[in-house]
Amino acid sequence: MGRLNNKIAVVTGSATGIGAATVKRFASEGATVICGDINVQEVQKTVDEVKNEGGQAEAVELDVADVDSVRQFANYVKEHYENVDILFNNAGVDQEGGKVHEYPVELFDKIIAVDLRGTFLTSKYILPLMLENGGSVINTSSMSGQAADLDRSGYNAAKGGITNFTRAMAIDYAREGIRVNSISPGTIETPLVQELAGTKQEEEGREFREANKWVTPMGRLGRPEEMANVALFLASDESSYVTGEDITADGGIMAYTWPGKMLMDKSWKENTE
């Protein structure tokens, strides 16, 4: 407790999933959390939970893909809080679009606009509030930024861009005392995954989770709270000499070259949670 005492944190995409879990984790460690999300009514539920537990949080409407919305958000934060110590660029969208020659231009533009451009815009307008005292920027990338997925080239491009954008920011701001790192989650049990693959109650969703049991060495999907713990490490002084890094938290998927024996070994498939 108290690792983020007296810190001001901004978390985007904070209505559900990793963002909501991180808001709660940051607040439990003493931070005042400004929760930016396009769905301000949904994020208010997260804020209410934090306040009921004695924490400090506020919901503020934010569309990370819209430059005017980001400017207004940053101006609000400056007016009410003056400085920011932690920025967690977590807002993102994902959707299959087919092979590249079939991929809808509008979908590609949307994913790039929210995931990559949104990370850039929010950083651009919040970083000036961090220059005086330094701090930590955390970007949500993905294991899909390190390797590719079938029919999801837009998401792969956006997340790969975030990973290298993180490195560029780390170099730019290291002498200003601002550390910049990214997290690359694997498949996490979030509303986005439920939307893409189905819920635990749906046949398609059950099949998806069964497949992940054997393709993931740890034998299960990740939990939002586990990603929030990684974000907490990067936000806190415990990572004071860590910058320009990407932490992969995927249950071991990126540790192997190809599934190989895992495809054929019945005991491997059955020896999971």
Give the Cα separation of 6 and 92 in Å (integer): 28
Task: Convert the pLDDT of each residue in 250-260 to its tens digit.
Answer: 999 999 988 77
Which run of H or of E encompasses 248? strand 246-249
Asked whether residue 129 carries a pLDDT value surpassing 80, the answer given is yes
Asked whether residue 261 carries a pLDDT value surpassing 90, the answer given is no
Tell me if residue 103 is catalytic: no
Instruction: State the catalytic residue, choosing from 81, 155, 241, 256.
Output: 155
Task: Assign 83 a pLDDT band (cuts: 50, 70, 90).
Answer: very high
Give the Cα separation of 77 and 225 in Å (integer): 26
Which run of H or of E encompasses 255? none
Query: Mean of the pLDDT values across residues 43-68?
Result: 97
Contact 16, 227 (CB under 8 A): no
Q: Which CATH architecture has domain 8-268?
A: 3-Layer(aba) Sandwich (3.40)
Asked whether residue 178 carries a pLDDT value surpassing 70, the answer given is yes
Asked whether residue 196 carries a pLDDT value surpassing 70, the answer given is no
Asked whether residue 73 carries a pLDDT value surpassing 80, the answer given is yes
Q: Please report the DSSP string for 198-243 in residue order.
A: --TTSHHHHHHHHHHHHHSTTSS-B-HHHHHHHHHHHHSGGGTT--
Give the gyration radius of the chain's Cα atoms. 19
Q: Where are the domains of the chain?
A: 8-268
Task: Assign 131 a pLDDT band (cuts: 50, 70, 90).
Answer: very high
Nearest CA-CA partner of 7 in 31, 33, 34, 36: 31
Task: Convert the pLDDT of each residue in 199-219 to its tens digit.
Answer: 767 777 778 778 777 889 998
Residues of the chain with pLDDT > 90, as a percent, come to 81
Nearest CA-CA partner of 158 in 251, 262, 65, 76: 65
Task: Convert the pLDDT of each residue in 264-273 to its tens digit.
Answer: 777 776 776 5
Dihedral sign for Cα 57, 223, 17, 252, please. Answer: positive
Contact 35, 209 (CB under 8 A): no
The gap between the terminal CA atoms of the chain, to the nearest Å, is 31
